[in-house]
Amino acid sequence: MRVAVASDHAAVSLKATLVTWLREAGYDVLDLGPATDARVDYPDYGYRLADAIASGDAERGIALCGSGIGISIAVNRNPAVRCALVSDPLAAALSREHNDANAIAMGARLIGEDMAKACITAFLDTAFAGGRHAPRVDKLGAPDFQKEPA
């Protein structure tokens, strides 16, 4: 499985650690930057991550910034991507099982290295349950804002 990873300057250190860890675990990792902790704008890297998933260059994505909030919003601008902001393994697993998330976001200032690894493991090891969740996930990629809720 190819996993794309992107961050902003606040999370570049955590990103480097996670990229190394993922490669050692046998994943094909697409490191989308940045390479240094020089100030960058998280939307630029969130959009890069979303494009990698939407184009098929990566199957899953990991987005990191200081809080995880800003970059998750940027990633979710692409309708082909479902990015969940997570802070624990249960949320990461449920994002896959119920929402077929193809990306997760985490905040480097809010989550430790070990918890980040646990979240990633849960995210990468959990399959989408389908079933009753599938029609809801389909709606996420094609919102109809004029339609009355069922």
Active site residue 119: no
Q: Using alpha carbons only, how large is the chain's radius of gyration in Å?
A: 15
**Annotated catalytic residue: which of 9, 83, 98, 119?**
98
Cα-Cα-Cα-Cα dihedral of 125, 140, 79, 129, to 10°? 20
Tally: H helices and E strands in the chain:
6, 5
Q: How many CA atoms lie within 13 A of 134 on its CB side?
A: 4
Q: How far is the C-alpha of 85 from the C-alpha of 106, rounded, in Å?
A: 6
In the block, tokens 């990103």 appear at 15
98 counts as catalytic: yes
- Catalytic one among 9, 65, 83, 119? 65
Encoding tokens for residue 115? 């918890």
User: Six-digit token pair at 105?
Assistant: 């976001």
Place of tokens 């989550």: 111
Q: Which residues are catalytic?
A: 65, 98
